Amino acid sequence: MKLLPAVLGLVLLVLNPNGVEARPAPTGGHEKKPSSATFFVFGDDFADNGNLPPTDPVTQMSRQWAYPYGSNYVDADGFPRPNTPSGRFSNYKIQSDFIATMLGLEEAPPAHALTAKKTCDPSGMTFATGGAGVLQSTSHEVPVLAKQVDTFRKMVKDGTITEKQLSHSVALVAFSGNDYAGTGVIGLSSPNDINAYIGKVTKEIAANVDQLLKLGVTKVLVNNLHPIGCTPSYTRTNNYTTCDIFENLGASLHNDNLKQVMTSKKNVYIVDVYTAFTNIVDHVAGKGSELSKQFKRKLSPCCESLDSDGYCGQQGESSAELLYTVCDNSNRFFYWDDMHPTHAGWEAVMKQLEKPLREFVNQA
């Protein structure tokens, strides 16, 4: 299915194909140190590491299992394993992997879909699924936030997730705009209608955060929305030169609303990805932090489809016909594809957020 840019200012995902064998989880890849927390991940393609299944042939909804996704993968022993897609929407690690490292884990916990029934890895579990939304997903087969949390609830109730795991647990709720990329705000012309819809989305996030805390999760991290108007899906129309201010305004409205509904909650921390992204991709010419200066290309993707309606990893009728191009050095690009950061992009974002995240997670 094709994902189209949002209207008001909040879009999201881009998914990709190109045949390459999917990798099994690396041996010891989810190793849990004695002092580390158990990590549970909810959300969409910003945090999915294998819940959307591979398909043959590859489609836009399964491209994360095919080349060039995972093309900068490094195995558990530190050896490069190029062309090793892992179900992540990037060339290697994503946000949840970097948070997992902060928690003492090797990488994000394994995907629910790749885990045997009635079992939970000691490191936790990832429920996030590409294309998911808070209220509505891009496909009826993709679980919304409440469905993901309900799956978690059932695993707690039947003892698959143990009280010991919950006693020192951290959850991440990472959504990046699918609710605004579909029919959500299309046709809502008045500010009142738009604000009411955003209010429904943020209240639903808050209700599910309450549910996670009630079920025994000790700390919850909630992403705000990134500056969607700076993603290549929006900057492509002006040759990747400037961000779409209206899209970013929409993200800001969501973030203001989210802050209001989260303010009074204990053991909940809003992860300010909006500011962390903006510090890198959207600043006055010639200005910006050292983190920003490492990226030669801030608004254009490393992997670019030849057709504006296409996607990274798309093939023609022949598998030898590639309908996309890939940059030579992904470390110089902030965005990997039309919507998702590169490994280097996520690393730069999380470097800014690491100190406050560690302080929140470690506080009594």
Model confidence pLDDT, tens digit, residues 42-96: 999 999 999 999 998 888 999 999 999 999 988 878 888 888 899 999 999 999 9
More confident residue, 2 or 135: 135
More confident residue, 18 or 43: 43
Q: Would the pLDDT of 266 be above 50?
A: yes
**What integer pLDDT is reported at residue 201 of this predicted model?**
96
User: Mean pLDDT score of the chain, rounded to an integer?
Assistant: 87
Span 144-151, average pLDDT: 98
CATH number of this structure's domain 39-362, picked from the four choices 3.40.50.2300, 3.40.50.1110, 1.10.10.60, 1.10.3720.10: 3.40.50.1110
Amino acid present at 185:
V
Close Cβ partners of 87 (under 8 Å, ≥ 6 residues apart):
22, 48, 49, 50, 51, 52, 54, 64, 65, 111, 114
Amino acid present at 269:
Y
Q: How many CB atoms lie within 10 A of CB 192?
A: 9
Summarised one tens digit per residue, pLDDT across range 199-231 is 999 999 999 999 999 999 999 999 999 999 999
**What integer pLDDT is reported at residue 77 of this predicted model?**
81
**What integer pLDDT is reported at residue 345 of this predicted model?**
98
**What integer pLDDT is reported at residue 192 of this predicted model?**
83
d(CA 228, CA 247): 6
Summarised one tens digit per residue, pLDDT across range 151-175 is 999 999 999 999 999 999 999 999 9
Q: What's the pLDDT band for 30 if we cut at 50, 70, 90? A: low
**What integer pLDDT is reported at residue 21 of this predicted model?**
37
Query: Residue ranges per domain, the chain?
Result: 39-362
Close Cβ partners of 215 (under 8 Å, ≥ 6 residues apart):
152, 153, 156, 166
pTM across the whole model: 0.89
**What integer pLDDT is reported at residue 33 of this predicted model?**
65
Token duo for residue 301: 């993707």
Q: Would the pLDDT of 128 be above 80?
A: yes
Least confident of 45-49, 190-194, 262-266, 336-340: 190-194
Summarised one tens digit per residue, pLDDT across range 292-342 is 889 999 999 999 999 988 999 998 887 788 999 999 999 999 999 999 999
**CA-based nearest residue to 335, from 293, 290, 304:** 304
In percent, the amount of the chain with pLDDT more than 90 equals: 71
